Structures are given as structure tokens and as C-alpha cells.
């Protein structure tokens, strides 16, 4: 039996967090309900001195992002096909897998959840999820801000029945809602006729996605039950979808509110004290200075998305100017113990523009938007203050975004794309790779035409046999990208200097070059990761990066040894070098 003092301490801590959130409720009772719900066996509760011993991540951790139904094979449940793809094509290369919402849903490709405790039967069942979780560290979405209008809870809301009748945020359309920050251009409130009369429900993302009322503690308890169930099915990393919008207050922006942060802090306490190694990642696609607040004081998210990276990488490789990318890496503070960044270039969503606010001048943004449209991309809009619409994200395959420069398409697409991936793999944090980037998938215009949604351009479904054939053909574009990608990943995984919390310093290099210095936690390995982001050949003056005399130095990617540390190193267009004093390379 767990030490009663540990449980008492945990109960006291949770109740203290609940009191300011729910001043009109019995915080002591609610804390006890949470403990009973989250830990079916109280022996799973860790004492404070056990928490620090948990292994969270190291340089070998690389994540794959995919829908459960992206890879398909006739007559086979898609989750089984995904597992087969992981086994047959990736082996041990990828240790973490993020399966995007795999629950029954009504819209938004899974993000309007009908039943949080079921697997979409079109994808498979819980045994398929558990099989993947047995081989990989599994990340799943906790779609915590909103649920489907087709859910049992919302049907109860419409019928004015318990418990759902009090689970959603409603508001008077005449209320002061002008300050609310919007990620979409549709109306904030959606009208419904209910058994209790006409109601206007908060719908941040769509009329089919109705926002939960976390001011009701029963809603919090429902989601803690959901988290506990996911743990039982093998989920170890919880992506809190759209969490910045969680708590609403009339007359405020209703984003990033203190109460939202307090909910995350509460969940962090639960995760940290669980016997399993559980991790929270917050999905907050907002300006970078706001995004960083979700680390809290090492007591909120374990991991935050590096949302500014995808658009700034596009800009750097489109223009050959790494100035704004350098500013990002210089401004992001080193993550403290127990925290790190999730670095990515593409995901199921578009390339967000809000993270460029205050970072990239509008003229640079406009040039980038024009280029992406020339490369076949689409632009999605959101409603700003006063009802004006402004660009929200670029919808395009990341591979297609690398077609060319401001001068137009050229012959450097694969090299430019791999340059972006090499930069992402080298940065402080954990790299996450969208399956369509791994497979160099092109823009899905047919999917956009079918759904009418711009985001479908980067959500194509692929036949497993077609993928396998293309990867087996060494001359195919897909095989060339896949092979180079996997080699880079395997190389990265062997370098202690690429630990997610290893030191990072941005190098002062000439125009057209982007570089960082990484140093392992034990200070034995240094890596100077330098990329030519331009379409012109460049020369790296090794004296500029201050290689230590007396140490042997190699480029880990090419295998080339460096004899003269004061000499010049030529770089082809979009070439990356990882110059290290330890040759821990792929066999």
C-alpha cells in the first residue's frame, strides 16, 4: 500500500489548486474524487522523491505524426496497416508515434469527437491501438476544448438532461464578446433550440464543435476519467488540443486565461505522480511569447510545440535569408529540467502564421504567401478584431513548399527540403515528423475538392502497396527523400549533443548560412550544425565557429574529416554539415 503521507500530500496539493477554480464547490471532496478516478490502484501514486527518477526523453527520441487512416490496405483495418508500415519500413528508427484522433467523430477529420472512449470502427479497435503502444511510445489527442454536436453529452444538452445539460459554454449574443480571440472566421456563438429554450453555444472552431464549460467541475472529472482510460490502453503522451481556449470569461480575450493554466498545472501534478511515465504537450498555435508561457514554472506542459519554426524555416529557404530563423533560435530560452520543445516542420494542420506575429515583417509574410500560392498552396483566413479577416495559415504540403525560391521553382527541391529537415533534427528539443513529409507527398487537390477544406491538401490517404512500391524504387522521389531522411534520423539518434536538453547556441554566421552549436550534457561532444539556406554555393570559414585545437573533427553527414580547423569548408546549395569532435556515426 502506498505511504498514506504521500496520498495526504497529493490530496492537499490538488485541493489547493481546485479552490480558486471552484470556490463554490467542496474542493476536498473533488480532490478525493479525482484521486479515486485517476488512480484505480493507489499503489501507482509516486512520492515526490520518485518523480525525478523518471526518464522522459533522450537523443534517440523521434516522433512520427500520422492519422490512423493515412496508410490503407484493402481488407485490413487501417490501424493494423499503420502498424505494418511502422514495422516493415521504419523498424526501430521511430520510437514515438502520434496517432491523430482515432475516435468516432462528425467533422474536422477527427477533432469533433462523438465518443472519447471508443475507437472509430472504420480504423480498428482498442486492441490495434494497444498493439502500436506496445512497440512505440504512443501520443494521443485529448480534444479537451470542444466536442461534437452529435455526442451523447450534447444530445443531453439539447434535451436538458443530466449530465450534459451543464457541460457547454453558453452566452447571450448581446454580451461583450468583442475581445475574444478567434482562430476562425465563422460566428463565435451557434444557436440551438433546446428543451430549455433557445441557447447560444460557444463554438470556437465550428458549429459542430461545441466548447465545454470547465467552470463546471463535473466536466473536469469527465476528462480525468478519459485520461485514465487512455493510460489503460497504452497512451503515454497527451496532446492537449486547442487548450489555450479552454476557459471562457465574458469581457476578456478568452485565450490563455489564468484558469486555463491552472487546469494544466493540475493535470501536470497528476501525470508527474503516476507510476507510468506520462507527458503533457500543449497545442497552442499562438504568438511565440504566449506559447512559451505554457512551460509555466516547470509545472505545466512537459513539451510545447515550436510553432514558429515551420513558417520561419519556409521563409529562410524561400529567401536565402536566415535572419528571422536566427532570431527565433536566439529568443527561445533553454528549456528547464523536465521540459523541452517539439520541433516540427509540418503537421495535419497548415503552416501557421500567428506564430510569425511580431517576428516576421508583414512585407516578408506577403512575399511568402504569394510564393506558396504559386507553388499550389491555399491560404486560410481568420476573423480579427473588428470583424476583419486576415491570413491564418498556409495550406500546402511541406515538400511542395520547397519547390523553389522567390524567383520560382528550380531543380533544388529535394535538397532544399532535406535542408529544412536537417535543421529541424538538429535543434534543441524532440523532432516530430509528419508522415507526409517522410514520404514526400505532394499537394492533394482532389482531397480539397472533395471536402471543400484547405487543410485537406496535406491529409491525403495513401495505398500501402503504392507506398511500398515507390519506396522500393531507388529512382523515385519518395525513395530518395525517405532514404535520406531515415539516414539523418539514425545519425541524429547516436549523438549525445542532440539530447533534447543539450546546450544550444546560435552561431553568428554570414548571410545565407544558419548554424547552431550543440553540446552534450556531459560536455564531451560538440556539434556545429550549419546549413546553407541559399541556392548559391557558400564557404564556411571554420575559424568563425571556433573548433577546439587538438580535437579531431568530422562532418557526421558526409564522413569527411577536417584537417585544417582554420581553413574553409565549401557548402553546396542547401548542404548541411554536422561538424563534431566525436564520430558517433551510423555503422
Active-site hit among 108, 120, 208, 241: 241
Q: Residue 338: helix, strand or coil by DSSP?
A: coil
Computed on alpha carbons and rounded to an integer, the radius of gyration of the chain in Å comes to: 24
Axis-axis angle for helices 323-331, 309-319 (nearest 10): 150
pLDDT value of residue 587: 42
- Cβ burial, residue 198 (10 Å; 0-12/13-18/19+): exposed
| Helix boundaries (H) for 292-361 | 309-319, 323-331
Axis-axis angle for helices 27-38, 4-21 (nearest 10): 120
- Separation of alpha carbons 470 and 177, rounded Å: 52
Show the 3-state SS of 439-501.
CCCCCCHHHHHHHCCHHHHHCCCEEHHHHHHHHHCCCCHHHHHHHHHHHHHHHHHCCHHHCCC
**Residue 467 · residue 439 · CB < 8 Å:** yes
- Separation of alpha carbons 79 and 525, rounded Å: 40
Phi-psi category of residue 197: left, alpha or beta, with phi > 0 → left and psi -120 to 50 → alpha:
left
- Compute CA 200 distance to the chain's CA centroid, rounded to the nearest angstrom: 32
**Residue 377 · residue 457 · CB < 8 Å:** yes
**Residue 85 · residue 51 · CB < 8 Å:** no
- Separation of alpha carbons 556 and 168, rounded Å: 54
Tens place of pLDDT per residue across the chain (587 aa): 468 889 999 999 999 999 999 999 999 999 999 999 999 888 899 998 898 889 999 999 999 999 999 999 999 999 999 999 999 999 999 999 999 999 999 999 999 999 999 999 999 999 999 999 999 999 999 999 999 999 999 999 999 999 999 999 999 999 999 999 988 888 999 999 999 999 999 999 999 999 999 999 999 999 999 999 999 999 999 999 999 999 999 999 999 999 999 999 999 999 999 999 999 999 998 999 999 999 999 999 999 999 999 999 999 999 999 999 999 999 999 999 899 999 999 999 999 999 999 899 999 999 999 999 999 999 999 876 666 788 999 999 999 999 999 999 999 999 999 999 999 999 999 999 999 999 999 999 999 999 999 999 999 999 999 999 999 999 999 999 999 999 999 999 999 999 999 999 999 999 999 999 999 999 999 999 999 999 999 999 999 999 999 899 999 999 999 999 999 999 999 999 999 999 876 44
* Of 62, 59, 88, the residue nearest 73 (C-alpha): 88
* Of 239, 174, 178, 183, the residue nearest 211 (C-alpha): 183
- Separation of alpha carbons 562 and 554, rounded Å: 6
- Compute CA 29 distance to the chain's CA centroid, rounded to the nearest angstrom: 35
- Separation of alpha carbons 578 and 518, rounded Å: 10
- Separation of alpha carbons 481 and 304, rounded Å: 27
Q: Residue 105: helix, strand or coil by DSSP?
A: strand
- Separation of alpha carbons 438 and 480, rounded Å: 10
125 is known as an active-site residue: no
- Per DSSP, 339 falls in state -
Question: How open is the CA angle 231-237-240, to the nearest 5 degrees?
Answer: 105
- pTM of the shown model: 0.96
Axis-axis angle for helices 126-135, 78-85 (nearest 10): 10
* Of 306, 293, 302, the residue nearest 238 (C-alpha): 302
Q: Which helix (H) or strand (E) holds 146?
A: strand 146-148
pLDDT value of residue 386: 65
Expressed in angstroms, the distance from the first to the final Cα of the chain is 48
Q: Which helix (H) or strand (E) holds 29?
A: helix 27-38
Q: Residue 213: helix, strand or coil by DSSP?
A: coil
Peptide bond into 163 cis (omega under 30): yes
Q: How many CB atoms lie within 10 A of CB 403?
A: 23
Sign of the CA dihedral running 9, 10, 11, 15: positive
Q: How many CB atoms lie within 10 A of CB 48?
A: 12
- Across the strands, what pairs with 189? 202
- Separation of alpha carbons 13 and 270, rounded Å: 10
Q: Give the CA distances from residue 246 to residues 164, 283, 424, in Å, rounded to whole numbers and listed in that order.
A: 17, 12, 30
- Cβ burial, residue 111 (10 Å; 0-12/13-18/19+): buried
* Of 305, 349, 344, 311, the residue nearest 459 (C-alpha): 349
Residues 6+ apart with CB under 8 A from 397: 346, 436, 441, 442, 443, 444, 457, 458
| Helix boundaries (H) for 200-308 | 217-232, 258-272, 288-291
DSSP symbols for 188-254: SEEEEEETTEEEEEE-SSBTTEEEB-TTSHHHHHHHHHHHHHHHHTTEEEEEETTGGG-S--TTS--
Phi-psi category of residue 35: left, alpha or beta, with phi > 0 → left and psi -120 to 50 → alpha:
alpha
Q: Which helix (H) or strand (E) holds 132?
A: helix 126-135
Residues 6+ apart with CB under 8 A from 75: none
Question: How open is the CA angle 29-38-203, to the nearest 5 degrees?
Answer: 85
Q: Which helix (H) or strand (E) holds 531?
A: strand 526-532
Amino acid at each position: 500500500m502506498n505511504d498514506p503521507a504521500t496520498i495526504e500530500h497529493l490530496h492537499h496539493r490538488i485541493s489547493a489548486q481546485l479552490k480558486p477554480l471552484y470556490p463554490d464547490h467542496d474542493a476536498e471532496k473533488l480532490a478525493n474524487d479525482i484521486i479515486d478516478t485517476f488512480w484505480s490502484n493507489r499503489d501507482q501514486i509516486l512520492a515526490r522523491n520518485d518523480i525525478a527518477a523518471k526518464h522522459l526523453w533522450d537523443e534517440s527520441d523521434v516522433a512520427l505524426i500520422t492519422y490512423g487512416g493515412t496508410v490503407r490496405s484493402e481488407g485490413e483495418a487501417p490501424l493494423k496497416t499503420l502498424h505494418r508500415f511502422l514495422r516493415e519500413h521504419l523498424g526501430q528508427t521511430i520510437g514515438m508515434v502520434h496517432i491523430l484522433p482515432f475516435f468516432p467523430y462528425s467533422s474536422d477529420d477527427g477533432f469533433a469527437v462523438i465518443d472519447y472512449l471508443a475507437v472509430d470502427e472504420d480504423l480498428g479497435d482498442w486492441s490495434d491501438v494497444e498493439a502500436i503502444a506496445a512497440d512505440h511510445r504512443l501520443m494521443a489527442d485529448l480534444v479537451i476544448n470542444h466536442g461534437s454536436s452529435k455526442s451523447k453529452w450534447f444530445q443531453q444538452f439539447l434535451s436538458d438532461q443530466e449530465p450534459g445539460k451543464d457541460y457547454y459554454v453558453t452566452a447571450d449574443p448581446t454580451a461583450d464578446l468583442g475581445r475574444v480571440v478567434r482562430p476562425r472566421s465563422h460566428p463565435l456563438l451557434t444557436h440551438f433550440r433546446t428543451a430549455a429554450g433557445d441557447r447560444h453555444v460557444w463554438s470556437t472552431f465550428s458549429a459542430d464543435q461545441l466548447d465545454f464549460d470547465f467552470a463546471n467541475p463535473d466536466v473536469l472529472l469527465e476528462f480525468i476519467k478519459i485520461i485514465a482510460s487512455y493510460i489503460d490502453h497504452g497512451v503515454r503522451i497527451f496532446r492537449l488540443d486547442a487548450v489555450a481556449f479552454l476557459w471562457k470569461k465574458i469581457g476578456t480575450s478568452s485565450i490563455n486565461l489564468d484558469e486555463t493554466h491552472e487546469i494544466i498545472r493540475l493535470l501536470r501534478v497528476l501525470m508527474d505522480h503516476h507510476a507510468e511515465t506520462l507527458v503533457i504537450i500543449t497545442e497552442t498555435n499562438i504568438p511565440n511569447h504566449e506559447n512559451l508561457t505554457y512551460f509555466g514554472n516547470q509545472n505545466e506542459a512537459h513539451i510545447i510545440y515550436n510553432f514558429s519554426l515551420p513558417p520561419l524555416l519556409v521563409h529562410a529557404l524561400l529567401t536565402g535569408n536566415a535572419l528571422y530563423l536566427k532570431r527565433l533560435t536566439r529568443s527561445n530560452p533553454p528549456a528547464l529540467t523536465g521540459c523541452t520543445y517539439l520541433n516540427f516542420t509540418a503537421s495535419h494542420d497548415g503552416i501557421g502564421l500567428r506564430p510569425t506575429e511580431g517576428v516576421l515583417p508583414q512585407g516578408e509574410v506577403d512575399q511568402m504567401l504569394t510564393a506558396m500560392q504559386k507553388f499550389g498552396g491555399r491560404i486560410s483566413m481568420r476573423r480579427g478584431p473588428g470583424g476583419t479577416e486576415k491570413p491564418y495559415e498556409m495550406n500546402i504540403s511541406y515538400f511542395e513548399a520547397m519547390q523553389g525560391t522567390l524567383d520560382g521553382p528550380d531543380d533544388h527541391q529535394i535538397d532544399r527540403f532535406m535542408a529544412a529537415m536537417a535543421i529541424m533534427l538538429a535543434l534543441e528539443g524532440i523532432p516530430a515528423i509528419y508522415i507526409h513529409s517522410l514520404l514526400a507527398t505532394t499537394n492533394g487537390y482532389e482531397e480539397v475538392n472533395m471536402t471543400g477544406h484547405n487543410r485537406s491538401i496535406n491529409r491525403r490517404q495513401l495505398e500501402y502497396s503504392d507506398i511500398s512500391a515507390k519506396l522500393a524504387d531507388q529512382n523515385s522521389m519518395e525513395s530518395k527523400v525517405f532514404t535520406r531522411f531515415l539516414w539523418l534520423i539514425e545519425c541524429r539518434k547516436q549523438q549525445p549533443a542532440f539530447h533534447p536538453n543539450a546546450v544550444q547556441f546560435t552561431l553568428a554566421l554570414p548571410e545565407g548560412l544558419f548554424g547552431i552549436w550543440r553540446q552534450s550534457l556531459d560536455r564531451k561532444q560538440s556539434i556545429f550544425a550549419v546549413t546553407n539556406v541559399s541556392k548559391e554555393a557558400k564557404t564556411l570559414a571554420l575559424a568563425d565557429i571556433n573548433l577546439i585545437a587538438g580535437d579531431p573533427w568530422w562532418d557526421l553527414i558526409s564522413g569527411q574529416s577536417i584537417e585544417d580547423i582554420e581553413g574553409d569548408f565549401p557548402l553546396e546549395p542547401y548542404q548541411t554539415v554536422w561538424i563534431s569532435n566525436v564520430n558517433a556515426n551510423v555503422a
